[in-house]
Amino acid sequence: DIQMTQSPSTLSASVGDRVTITCRASQSISTYLAWYQQKPGKAPKLLIYKASSLESGVPSRFSGSGSGTEFTLTISSLQPDDFATYYCQQYNSYSPTFGPGTKVDIK
Amino acid sequence: EVQLLESGGGLVQPGGSLRLSCAASGFTFTTYAMTWVRQAPRKGLEWVSAISGVGDFTYYADSVKGRFTISRDNSKNTLYLQMNSLRAEDTAVYYCAKYGSSWLIASWGQGTLVTVSS
């Protein structure tokens, strides 16, 4: 199975900050990488797919990059609605695996 | 608009059974593979099972293989998860989800809570 790691596990930031989250895969997944945002009590929401493609309706302050085994999610200017937990996920096969999550909270 | 509505969760004793349902609307159900993903309390996301569009292929995580069965009724636009021999570690919110292109999980239901406890 492909293992996913994320760093940091928690990130404290202020509104307006630029935020970067890193995700690593245990083997190459090309660009089969998605990012989700999850708020307490809610289902995950797709933000980015194919490593860098923005899902329809997602604000342009979110961007993704990377290929192979290393990926990043960047929020260019953190907004109050962005405080949440973010998960990366590889979908190179029918059995997707998720990173452990990065919680972005208020500094 | 894609809508996925789970039902069937609840409290069950260890060793018991439960069947989850997911009513789908807003897309051509038979065209898409479907999946179940769970999230234990205050934990991350874990893929559980998947099924092809016509139901001829099924896939399971090792943690549920032999205990859970995924199925679908395309005439009713409904996905199911039969869960047997339930354990405390199966306690989680279970999300029904729709695959998009390749194996990307594109849409999620709101989830249903399963609690396994005596």
| Surface of B (11-70) touching A: CB under 8 A | 33, 44-47, 50, 59, 61
Mean pLDDT across chain A: 96
The DSSP secondary structure of B23-48, one letter per residue, reads EEESS-GGGS-EEEEEE-TT--EEEE
- List, for residues A46-90, the tens digit of each pLDDT value: 999 999 999 999 999 999 999 999 999 999 999 999 999 999 999
Query: Once rounded to an integer, what is the mean pLDDT over residues B26-38?
Result: 96
pLDDT at residue B30 tops 90: yes
Check if B111 contacts A (Cβ < 8 Å): yes
Measure the CA–CA gap between A99 and A102, rounded to whole angstroms: 9
3-state DSSP of chain A: CCCEEEECCEEEECCCCCEEEEEEECCCCCCCEEEEEECCCCCCEEEEECCCEECCCCCCCEEEEEECCEEEEEECCCCHHHCCEEEEEECCCCCCEECCCEEEEEC
Confidence of residue B102 (pLDDT cuts 50, 70, 90): confident
What average pLDDT does this structure show over B36-63? 96
Cβ of A98 within 8 Å of Cβ of B95? The answer is no
Residue B44: list chain A partners with CB under 8 A. Answer: 87, 98-101
- Test B45 with A93 for CB contact under 8 angstroms: no
Interchain contact B2–A (C-beta under 8 A): no
pLDDT band at B70 (very low <50, low <70, confident <90, very high): very high
